[in-house]
Amino acid sequence: MRNRKLWQGRFEGSTDPLVERFTASIQFDNRLAPYDIAGSIAHCRMLAAQKIIPSGAARKIIRALKAIEKEIARGRFPLQERDEDIHMAIERRVIAKVGPDGGYLHTARSRNDQVALDLRMYVRDAIREIGAGIVGLQRSIEELARANADVLVPGYTHLQRAQPLLLAHHLLAYREMLGRDRERLRDCAKRVNVLPLGAGALAGTTFAIDPKRVAKELGFTRVAANSVDAVSDRDFVIEFLAACAILAAHLSRLAEEIVIWASSEFSFVRLPDAFATGSSMMPQKRNPDVAELVRGKCGRVYGNLIALLTILKGLPLSYNRDLQEDKEPLFDTVDTVSSSLRVLAAMLPRIEICRERLRQAVSDPALVATDIADYLVRKGLAFRRAHEIVGKLMRFVEKEGLTLSDLSLEQWRSFCPNFGPDIAAWTTAEAAVARRAAPGGTAPNNVRKQLSARTR
């Protein structure tokens, strides 16, 4: 029958249309088509080289696969729900083009190892794509940092002003986070790059295949050692989603700071018109919707990781149809993370830093309180005693509405006789930043070295 499925020999009746719709994945797994074709070509070449299928049939199949690849690229490939998934759709099309010889293509493989292969090839490319997106965002961070290399900002702990920093030093903290994200993805790639093809449905194949040849052609570094594990393993997807979840957390933190800094209460930055939106009701509004959406999309990425962990929990070996549910969380994560990286990378260099507002913010005397305590330690006091003295001093300044430069030497010494005329050099944010020259600190020379370091 014209509408019979490729696996229907065992069945007398046809599949209920409701079941067809429920079980079909072709509406979302069609993005695996390029990988399915590349894997099928490599598999077919290997079968011919091993004399498992006729070389003439192999040549016809490979020509058909390349033609199908062009059809897909041009949007002319007919997708049919009865095909269930992209793998069956491509095989059906091969048979339609080649005739009965097209049936040789599925020799020595199952959809189980075929899907596992396509998924690994997809994740491998996704790692490259997201890695490139991370580098793009890192470079945007560096661009913004270099353009504002002399700008100071209040550093925060508990969202309370803590100590002064160079803005570039603060921004480069995100570059460090993103560097770790790239490292995690590169490490994940080692476990992705394992060839599962040859595992068959679960037990391997009776044919004398050459998986190493296929692995070499497709760029895999290893061949799966256990056929049961090869078809049921989705650890590599979980690991990829976990790395993306951590990355999404970093993007969300950056987005949150943009939202806070762009608020009227902070006014540290002004967003470009091209990356802000208005209100349908309030004409004065400039909303940081881009940053808010990046922050919000983090929840989707987390949810996708939890979804796949839940799907795998308690799943018996080997392959189960539950694993069809791995693709939508994976594809959504790739799309979400990639778009978030691109939009942040485009926005950051165009953010305006409000320098005058930041100058006002870093003039807060509380920001140099630790430096004054350090001063007293250098004058012979234990740090805890110095901490107590400076706490009382800062309470006095705050109560009286003074700045540290307003204090006379006598007032300084009323809190501790160890204060001397040189205390004036310890009361500015610029001096506090310059003193932090220990490795990893915010001193200008350290920040210059960070900016000159190669993006990792």
Task: Kindly list the distances between the CA atom of residue 247 and the CA atoms of 142, 252, 301, in Å, as whole numbers in the listed order.
Answer: 18, 9, 9
Instruction: Name the E strands within 104-254.
Output: 152-157, 160-166, 194-195, 222-223
**C-alpha dihedral over 339, 345, 346, 349, to 10 degrees?**
160
Kindly report the backbone phi and psi dihedral angles of residue 354, in degrees, each rounded to the nearest multiple of 5, phi listed first.
Answer: -85, 90
Rounded Cα gap, residues 284 and 282, in angstroms: 6
Q: How far apart are the first and last CA of the chain?
A: 57
For 412-426, b/e burial (b = at least 16 CB within 10 A) is beebbebbeeebeeb
Q: 375: closest CA among 413, 416, 411, 423?
A: 423
Residue 158 annotated in active site? yes
Helices and strands, counts by H and E, the chain? 18, 6
For 356-383, b/e burial (b = at least 16 CB within 10 A) is eebeebbbebebbbbbbbbbbeeeebee
Locate 22 and state its tokens: 């429920």
Residues 6 or more apart whose Cβ sits within 8 Å of residue 224: 194, 195, 196, 198, 199, 230, 233
Handedness of CA 50, 53, 56, 57 (dihedral sign): negative
Active-site residue, selected from the candidate residues 55, 263, 279, 405: 279
Rounded Cα gap, residues 329 and 237, in angstroms: 10
**C-alpha dihedral over 225, 231, 237, 239, to 10 degrees?**
-40
Kindly report the backbone phi and psi dihedral angles of residue 5, in degrees, each rounded to the nearest multiple of 5, phi listed first.
Answer: -80, 160
Check: CB of residue 151 under 8 Å from CB of residue 354.
no
75 torsion bin: left (phi>0), alpha (psi -120 to 50), beta (else): left
Rounded Cα gap, residues 197 and 231, in angstroms: 9
Rounded Cα gap, residues 276 and 288, in angstroms: 5
Rounded Cα gap, residues 167 and 150, in angstroms: 8
Check: CB of residue 157 under 8 Å from CB of residue 75.
no
Residue 87 annotated in active site? no
Task: Kindly list the distances between the CA atom of residue 392 and the CA atoms of 163, 338, 388, 396, 403, in Å, as whole numbers in the listed order.
Answer: 18, 50, 6, 6, 14
Which residues participate in catalysis according to the annotation?
Answer: 158, 279
